């Protein structure tokens, strides 16, 4: 065996390793930190704006559970109506079935689980902020410390363990309802079936699949 | 007002556009033979040699703007993987454009300076490149110019599609060409602006400084310039009118630009230096056949500065859809 074949073999070997590494990169996400546990589950979170007092307990609870810095939360409050008769729209990730954030993400870091929860694999996120621009609900925040995009993840480890998202636990006026949409006897499934709870801004075409709102027509 | 993208993206969208535009101008001079009318063509030389470095600078700024890309640079490789993202197209286009434009610039440099060619040929340590010297220089250069033009159009258009692809999130960025034509305006506007800033840089600025007013060499240049300014004015007008007709936050963006918080940037830093002043200068040159050094350099600087502020204006005036 002469030297040229050796080096060619070595080169081919390196190339193959490189290709395997490149193909393997997107597979990183298949090692989620949360256990897959509830097959067939589809979650729903209904926010009743007629009950919401805008107190912001959900905002703070979200911040504390997710160890976010002061003033940062996955939930944002929008004041609607007029000064005499205001009402509050709490915005967080709507977990769309057709998420534009995932479409525009150049690294495939944002993905949607089978149960409808949209997650960010922060090991893939390069921090370009394109997803923040593409989200019509402006539901994303930027983690300055780690340089990646961040958003509501429905407190997935708690939910998979049978618990509740922090915002639902903390809601003082009981304006947040959480449950399984695939169980017709659950409260949220009935709210959705009755047509009272509706997705926010369906005209965006993103098909929010977990969040829906009860809004009194003005 | 969106706050995720500020000055840094504005600068790299501008540099990408101007670099691509400069290459397009140089290649046009190459393919139409204007390059060979005189011994030395500063427009083709500057256009070809500057386009690569400009786009490289823009790409470096892009990487600096990435939150995690600097800390863990291998993550940048992931950006090549997701083809539904316009940013992935852009990363591919930049990756292909940079080497092609650098080779084209290098060949144009060798073609422009025979002394550099001879110097390079005499280097002992470059002996292993001997086989390259049998290639016909100009024909090889043309191949790279041709591939470069295709990629340059891609780069220029991509900077616009990047914005229009956010769809309903920021309605102003996805404004259509006209209310009833479902083509986004930004890619069109950014392509024309890329060509216009490329012309400003290579013809008005570089060539005027190097050999005096280019209009003495190419009689139709003032008309071409005026046509470009006219088309760009038309496109900007259509953008603002369509945005106003659309209503909502797109109309709010347009109002902020015309007479609101961004009006100073729009009128003083874009319309006057980039549209009115160059148009008057070139109309004067076309009518009287006279073109001074100051007006050439002035309109070049004006067009380039206006191109930068146009990117900035479009970015900062993006207002997210109301919820």
Q: Could A25 and B81 be called an inter-chain contact, meaning their C-beta atoms sit closer than 8 Å?
A: yes
Q: Which candidate from A105, A127, A203 shows the least CB-CB separation from B68? A: A127
The rounded distance, in Å, linking the Cα atoms of B76 and B87 is: 12
Tell me how long chain B is: 323
Alpha helices, DSSP H only, in chain B?
A: 7-31, 42-65, 75-78, 86-112, 114-121, 137-164, 185-199, 208-211, 221-246, 248-259, 263-264, 277-288, 293-316
* Chain A residues near residue B69 by CB distance under 8 angstroms: 126-128, 147
Residue A16: its pLDDT value, please?
Answer: 52
Tokens of B209: 């400084």
Contact A106, A88 (CB under 8 A): no
* Chain A residues near residue B6 by CB distance under 8 angstroms: none
The rounded distance, in Å, linking the Cα atoms of A10 and B215 is: 58
Matching residue, tokens 């980039």: B274
The rounded distance, in Å, linking the Cα atoms of B116 and B298 is: 32
Q: What is the pLDDT of residues A81-99, one digit of tens each?
A: 999 999 999 999 999 999 9
Decide if pLDDT at A3 tops 60.
no
How many angstroms separate the CA of residue A185 from the nearest CA in chain B?
Answer: 31
Q: What is the pLDDT of residues B28-43, one digit of tens each?
A: 999 988 888 888 889 9
Phi, psi of B306, rounded to the nearest 5 degrees: -65, -35
Per-residue confidence at A22, pLDDT binned at 50, 70, 90?
A: low
Identify the closest residue of chain B to A105 by CA–CA distance: B85
Identify the closest residue of chain B to A134 by CA–CA distance: B166
The rounded distance, in Å, linking the Cα atoms of A86 and A79 is: 7
How many angstroms separate the CA of residue A173 from the nearest CA in chain B?
Answer: 23
Dihedral of the CA atoms B3, B309, B151, B164 (nearest 10)?
Answer: 40
Identify the closest residue of chain B to A78 by CA–CA distance: B323
Residue B200: its pLDDT value, please?
Answer: 92
Alpha helices, DSSP H only, in chain A?
A: 3-24, 57-65, 100-104, 130-134, 156-160, 166-170, 187-193
Q: Could B78 and A109 be called an inter-chain contact, meaning their C-beta atoms sit closer than 8 Å?
A: yes
* Chain B residues near residue A126 by CB distance under 8 angstroms: 66-69, 75-76, 78-79
Contact B285, B229 (CB under 8 A): no
Strand partners, A112: A118
Residue A6: its pLDDT value, please?
Answer: 44
Strand partners, A105: none
The rounded distance, in Å, linking the Cα atoms of B182 and B45 is: 39
Strand partners, A213: A47, A198
Q: Could A107 and B78 be called an inter-chain contact, meaning their C-beta atoms sit closer than 8 Å?
A: yes
Q: Which of B71-80, B110-119, B219-228, B295-304 has the lowest mean pLDDT?
A: B219-228
Q: Which candidate from B86, B91, B168 shows the least CB-CB separation from A204? A: B168
How many angstroms separate the CA of residue B166 from the nearest CA in chain A?
Answer: 4
* Buried/exposed A64-89: b ≥16 CB within 10 Å, e otherwise: ebeebeeeebbbeeeeeeeeeeebbb
Residue B216: its pLDDT value, please?
Answer: 67
* Chain B residues near residue A26 by CB distance under 8 angstroms: 78, 81
Predicted complex ipTM: 0.91
Q: Mean pLDDT for chain B?
A: 92
Number of Cα atoms under 13 Å in the Cβ half of residue A79 = 8
Per-residue confidence at A19, pLDDT binned at 50, 70, 90?
A: low
For the segment B299-322, the average pLDDT, to the nearest whole number, is 95
Q: Which candidate from A100, A147, A200 shows the least CB-CB separation from B68? A: A147
Percentage of the residues of chain B whose pLDDT score is greater than 90:
71
How would you classify residue B282: left for phi > 0, otherwise alpha for psi between -120 and 50, otherwise beta?
A: alpha
Q: What is the pTM of this model?
A: 0.89
A98–chain B Cβ distance below 8 A for any pair: no
Strand partners, B184: B176
Contact A105, B85 (CB under 8 A): yes
Residue A175: its pLDDT value, please?
Answer: 96
Size of interface A-B (CB pairs under 8 A): 116
Distances (CA, A) of B77 to A21, B90, B291, B295: 11, 13, 49, 45
Tokens of B28: 């046009």
Q: What is the pLDDT of residues B122-142, one digit of tens each?
A: 888 888 888 888 889 999 999
The rounded distance, in Å, linking the Cα atoms of B11 and B17 is: 10
């Amino acid at each position: 065996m002469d030297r040229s074949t050796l080096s060619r073999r070595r080169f081919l070997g390196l190339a193959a390793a490189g290709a395997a590494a490149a193909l393997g990169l997107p597979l990183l996400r298949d090692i989620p930190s949360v256990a897959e546990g509830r097959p067939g589950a589809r979650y729903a979170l209904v926010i009743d704006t007629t009950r919401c007092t805008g107190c912001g307990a959900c905002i703070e609870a979200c911040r504390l559970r997710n160890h976010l810095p002061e003033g940062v939360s996955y939930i944002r409050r929008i004041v609607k109506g007029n000064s005499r008769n205001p009402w509050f729209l709490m915005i967080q990730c709507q977990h769309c079935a057709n998420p534009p954030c995932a479409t525009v993400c150049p690294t495939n870091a944002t993905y949607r689980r089978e149960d409808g929860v949209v997650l960010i694999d922060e090991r893939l996120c390069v921090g370009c902020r394109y997803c923040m621009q593409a989200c019509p609900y402006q539901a994303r925040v930027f983690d300055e410390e780690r340089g990646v995009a961040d958003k509501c993840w429905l407190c997935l480890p708690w939910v998979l363990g049978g618990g509740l998202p922090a915002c639902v636990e903390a809601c003082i006026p009981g304006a947040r309802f959480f449950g399984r949409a695939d169980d017709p006897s659950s409260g949220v499934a009935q709210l959705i079936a009755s047509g009272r709870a509706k997705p926010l801004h369906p005209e965006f075409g993103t098909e929010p699949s977990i969040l829906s709102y009860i809004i009194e027509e003005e | 007002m969106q706050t995720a993208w500020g000055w840094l993206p504005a600068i790299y969208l501008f540099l990408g556009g101007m670099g691509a535009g400069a290459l397009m101008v140089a290649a046009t001079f190459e393919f139409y033979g204007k390059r060979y009318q005189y011994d030395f063509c500063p427009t083709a030389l500057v256009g070809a040699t500057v386009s690569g470095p400009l786009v490289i600078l823009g790409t470096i700024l892009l990487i600096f703007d990435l939150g995690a890309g600097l800390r863990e640079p291998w993550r940048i490789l992931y950006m090549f993987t997701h083809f539904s993202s316009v940013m992935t197209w852009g990363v591919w286009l930049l990756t292909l454009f940079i080497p092609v434009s650098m080779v084209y610039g290098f060949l144009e440099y060798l073609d422009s300076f025979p002394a550099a060619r001879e110097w390079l040929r005499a280097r002992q340590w470059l002996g292993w490149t001997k086989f390259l010297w049998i290639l016909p220089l100009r024909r090889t250069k043309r191949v790279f110019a041709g591939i470069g033009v295709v990629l340059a159009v891609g780069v220029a258009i991509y900077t616009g599609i990047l914005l229009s692809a956010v769809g309903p999130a920021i309605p102003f960025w996805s404004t259509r060409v006209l209310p009833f034509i479902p083509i986004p305006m930004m890619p069109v506007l950014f392509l024309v602006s890329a060509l216009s800033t490329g012309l400003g840089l290579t013809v008005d600025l570089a060539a005027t400084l190097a050999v005096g007013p280019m209009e003495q060499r190419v009689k139709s240049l003032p008309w071409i310039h005026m046509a470009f300014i006219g088309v760009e004015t038309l496109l900007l007008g259509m953008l603002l009118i369509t945005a106003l007709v659309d209503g909502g936050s797109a109309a709010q963006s347009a109002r902020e630009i015309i007479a609101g918080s961004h009006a100073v940037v729009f009128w003083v830093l874009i319309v006057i230096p980039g549209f009115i002043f160059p148009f008057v200068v070139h109309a004067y040159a076309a009518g009287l056949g006279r073109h001074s050094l100051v007006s050439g350099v002035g309109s070049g600087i004006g067009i380039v500065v206006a191109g930068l502020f146009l990117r900035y204006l479009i970015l900062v005036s993006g207002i997210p859809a109301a919820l």
